[in-house]
Structure 1
C-alpha cells in the first residue's frame, strides 16, 4: 500500500486529511534522493560520520577524565603531597588537634616575604622552644574555622598589605570573613593570638589589613597575647622590625612556660661538589628566574639602543631600548618589564675570598633539599661563581638575625665577640648600617679582616642569602607604535653613606643597566659585570627579562579625556600613553583633552621634554603640560602643589568622565590623593566617609588608577 507519494515539484504542499499518516517514501523517491555526483556522496558521508561522532561522544570516545579536577588543585592540596589532609578537611582546629600542634602560624603574602618569615618562624619555634607549629597558608583553610581553635592552642598571624590597603590574594577569604564580623555576630573568646603586619608607610593605607584584623578580633573578644607590631619597608626596615617583634614573641613564649634552648645550626639542604664539568655561566632555567607571579617566560633580550636622558654628578637617567626579536615575548602599553640583574664581579670576588673558597670557585655542585617544604634557590648543577653572580642576593644588607647566627662560625673569639655585640644590640647595629653598607662579605671582613671564614658551611651561605630578584620598570614605549621594541627609563641610584671613609651604595639593577648600555658614564659606576648566559659571552649585548601584565591601561575610547600625574621616572608609562594618543590622532580619530602634571628638580631634569613638545604640536594643543620644579630657584613646587592649584579643573574633568592616572613614588601619590579629597569634600559639602566612597567608586570603575612604588 502506498503511504507517501509526494514529488519534489508538487506546487501545493498544504497537508490534506490523510497526509499525517504518510511516512514511507516510494522506491522512485529513494532513487531521486540518491547522490548524483562524487561531491554529493562525499558530503553525505561526512554528514553521517559527523552525526555518528556527535552521538557517541562521551560514550565511545572522549570520555571524561576522572582526574580532570587535578588541573585546578593547588599544588599543596594535591593527593600524594605532604598535605593530604587538605583533601579531607579545611577546618584548622581539626588540623591542630590531629597533628598534635601547639600553635598555627597563618601567613598572607603577596610577594612571598610574609610566607618566608612564617616558614622561618615555624622552624625557630621547634628548634628554640620545642613548639610544634603548623605553618598555614590562609587560603588552605576556611576562615570560619578559626573560631573553633581551642584555648590550649594559639595563633600567630603574619599579614601583608599592598596597593590601596588590599590584602594578599591568598587572604581574600580571610578578609571577607573579617569584614562581616558585625553581620554574623562572630565570637572568638577561645582564640589567643599574636599578630605582625608587613607594609610601607609611604602608602596611604599603611598596614591596613593588620589594623582591620586587630579591630575585628578585639570586637569578637579574642585575646591578644601581645600588642601587634608593624613592619615599615619605607626605608628597608622590614627585617629589623621582624627581629624586634620576634624578640618580644620569644619573651612571650618564655612567660608561657616554654624553655628556650641554645640552637646549633642544622642544614636544610645538602651541598655536594661533583666532578661533572660545567661552564662558568648560568642558565635561564634557575628556580629563582621563574617566580609564580610572572606572566611570561624569562628571555635574553638584545639592547638595540641606549642614551642618557641626563647626567649630573652622581645622578644618571638612562633610556634603553630592547629588541623582542624572536623571543616570543609581547607586551601591551602600560605593562611592566622585569629586569634580572647581575651581581658585580668585585662583590662576587669579595665573598668568595672572605669564605676562603678561591680553589672551589668554578667547581660544580648540586643542592638537594632535606625536606619537601624547602624550596630550591639554585639550578640543579651550578658553581659558586655562578650562584653568587646570577642567583643569590650577595649585595643586599644583612639582617641582625644573621649576624647572631653566623657568629657560631667565627674563626677567632674576638670576631665572635664583635658579631655578638652588633647582633644583640639593635641600636648598635643600626648605627653601623647607617654609616656603612653591610653585606655578608663586608660583615665577615669587618669582624675578622685577617683570616678567612672557612668554617662557614656553604649550605649556611645559600640558605641565608635571599634569591636575586628582578627590578620592575614601567615600559615607556607604546605597543601600538613599537610592538617589537620595549623602552626602559631608569634612574641610576647611588646613595652615599656618611661613614669614614664615605661609602657609596649603588643600586644593583640600575647600575647594571647603565653598565650594559655601554654609555661612557658607565665607567663612573665602578661595577665590573661579567654577563654570561648559557655558553655565549654577551658582553653587555643582552639582559634577562620577562613581561608582567598590568591594569594600568588607557581607556578604549580615544576621546576619553586623560589626567596624567607623575614625577621623575614616573613619567615613563605616560610617554607610552602620549605616543599612542599621537598615533591614533594621526590616523584621524578624535582625541580627548590631556592634562599632564610632571614634577622634577628643574628644566634640565625634564625627561623627554622635546618629545612632549613635539606631541603637543601633533595633537593640536589638546595636550596641556603643568610642570612642578622643586630646585629651579624661587619657590619649590611639587606635583601635589600643582594638583592643589588646579584641583577644581581636575575635579571638573573627572566629573565629565576623564580617566586619571598617577605614577611615581607612593608618598607623592598619597599627597595627591589628600589634595583632591580635600577639594572634593569642600566643593561637594560632604564628610570624610562620603569623600572616601566617592574616590573608591572612581577607582572601582577604573577611572582613577595608580602605579606607584615605595
Structure 2
C-alpha cells in the first residue's frame, strides 16, 4: 500500500494534521493544532518545508498513528501524465517520453532532498522491467487535418515532447511526398546545454521539416534573460501572417504560467497587427478555439524548486491577507 498505491510524498492535509494532533502530546500537539486550524500558518509551513509523511512523523515524534487509520486517511497516489514524444510512423510499437528527473532540496535549498515520484522511478527502472502505463487521449491536440496549413509550436523544457512526435510524423509524410505547411518552433530553456534534441532539430531544419527554430535562454551567462514569449514577440509579423492570414494553427505545451504569458503575447500581436479593439480581439480568440486552431497541453507547476517555493509562499500570503 505504501510503496505503490498511497501518496506519502505530498504534505499532509489539515484534516490529517488534526488527526495527528488528537494523538500527539505536549508541544507537538499545540503546534499541530495551530497548523490544522490556522490557514496562513499552514500555508507557510507547507510551502517552505513541503514535508512528506516521514518528515512530518520525524518532526512530531509523539505522533504514533495506527497503520489502518493512517492508510484510511492518506490520499491515493495520482497518475503522472507525460506527452508521447515520438511518432508511430517512425517508431512502430514504441512510445518515447521526455522526462525531467525531479530532485530538489526544500527550505530554500537547505532542507531535505526530495525526489519526484514518477521521474525517479523511470530513471531507476531496469531495462526489460515491466511498467504499468495507460494512454489518455488529448483529442484537441493534434496536427491539422489539412497538412498544408502552417503550424507554430511553443514548448519550453519538457514541453517540447509532443512536438518531437510532430516533426517525426512530418518527416515520414515528407518522405512519402506529402506537401506540408510551414512549421515554426519556439523552444526555451535555461542554458544552451539544456537545449533538448538540438541535433534532431538541426536535421529537421536542414530537411525543411521545420522551417525555423527559435531558442530562448533564460539563464545563459553573459546574456540577457529571454523567454519564449519574447521570441514570439520578435517574430510578431510572421506569427500574425501564419496564424491569422494563412489560417494556421498555434500549439503551446508546458506549465500554466508560461502558457498564460504566451497567450497574453499572442493576443497583443493579433490586436496590434489586426487593428482590433478588445471586443473584436476576444471574439477572434473564441473563433480560434472554436475552429480548433489554438491548442494547449498545459500542466501545473510540479517542480518544487526554491524559486517556485518562494512564489507559492508569497501567493499564499497575499491570498490569506486579502480574505476578510
Match of 1:695 among 285, 289, 299: 285
Q: What is aligned with 2:77?
A: 468
Q: What is aligned with 1:24?
A: none
Identify, as 1 or 2, the structure richer in helix: 2
Provide, for residues 11-39 of structure 1, a one-character-per-residue CA deviation record: whole Å limited to 9, x for no partner.
xxxxxxxxxxxxxxxxxxxxxxxxxxxxx
Q: Does structure 2 conserve the Cα–Cα contact (< 8 Å) formed by 1:592 and 1:622?
A: no
Q: What is aligned with 2:134?
A: 546
Query: Is residue 2:83 matched to residue 1:445?
Result: no
Q: Does structure 2 conserve the Cα–Cα contact (< 8 Å) formed by 1:560 and 1:592?
A: yes
Larger radius of gyration: 1
Query: Is residue 2:258 matched to residue 1:668?
Result: yes
Query: Is residue 2:111 matched to residue 1:498?
Result: no
Cα distance change, pair 483–557 in 1 and its aligned pair in 2 (3 A): farther
Q: Does structure 2 conserve the Cα–Cα contact (< 8 Å) formed by 1:437 and 1:503?
A: no
Match of 1:409 among 23, 32, 38: 23
Cα distance change, pair 698–499 in 1 and its aligned pair in 2 (3 A): closer
Query: For residues 516 and 689 of structure 1, what CA distance do their matches in structure 2 show?
Result: 52
**Aligned ranges for residues 370-519 of structure 1 at < 5 Å?**
387-410=1-24, 412-448=25-61, 453=64, 456-498=65-107, 502-516=111-125
Q: Does structure 1 conserve the Cα–Cα contact (< 8 Å) formed by 2:252 and 2:259?
A: yes
Secondary structure at the counterpart of residue 627 of structure 1: strand
Question: Which 5+ residue runs of structure 2 have no aligned equivalent?
Answer: 301-324
Query: For residues 461 and 606 of structure 1, what CA distance do their matches in structure 2 show?
Result: 44
Provide, for residues 631-670 of structure 1, a one-character-per-residue CA deviation record: whole Å limited to 9, x for no partner.
2232211000011111111111112121111111111111
Cα distance change, pair 439–502 in 1 and its aligned pair in 2 (3 A): closer
Query: For residues 88 and 126 of structure 2, what CA distance do their matches in structure 1 show?
Result: 22
TM-score scaled by length of structure 1: 0.40
Q: What is aligned with 1:294?
A: none
Q: Does structure 1 conserve the Cα–Cα contact (< 8 Å) formed by 2:104 and 2:115?
A: yes
Query: For residues 452 and 433 of structure 1, what CA distance do their matches in structure 2 show?
Result: 18
Cα distance change, pair 479–428 in 1 and its aligned pair in 2 (3 A): same
Q: What is aligned with 1:704?
A: 294
Question: Which 5+ residue runs of structure 1 have no aligned equivalent?
Answer: 1-386, 519-539
Q: What is aligned with 2:168?
A: 579
Secondary structure at the counterpart of residue 407 of structure 1: helix
Secondary structure at the counterpart of residue 212 of structure 2: strand
Q: Does structure 1 conserve the Cα–Cα contact (< 8 Å) formed by 2:201 and 2:210?
A: no
Cα distance change, pair 418–704 in 1 and its aligned pair in 2 (3 A): closer
Secondary structure at the counterpart of residue 679 of structure 1: helix
Match of 1:605 among 191, 194, 198: 194
Provide, for residues 349-401 of structure 1, a one-character-per-residue CA deviation record: whole Å limited to 9, x for no partner.
xxxxxxxxxxxxxxxxxxxxxxxxxxxxxxxxxxxxxx111111111111123
Q: CA deviation at 1:414?
A: 4.4
Provide, for residues 472-494 of structure 1, a one-character-per-residue CA deviation record: whole Å limited to 9, x for no partner.
00000012212310001011112
Q: CA deviation at 1:458?
A: 3.4
Q: RMSD of the TM alignment (CA)?
A: 2.1
Query: For residues 470 and 670 of structure 1, what CA distance do their matches in structure 2 show?
Result: 25
Aligned residues: 297
Query: For residues 210 and 87 of structure 2, what CA distance do their matches in structure 1 show?
Result: 19
TM-score scaled by length of structure 2: 0.85
Query: For residues 133 and 210 of structure 2, what CA distance do their matches in structure 1 show?
Result: 36
Q: CA deviation at 1:673?
A: 1.3
Query: For residues 247 and 110 of structure 2, what CA distance do their matches in structure 1 show?
Result: 56
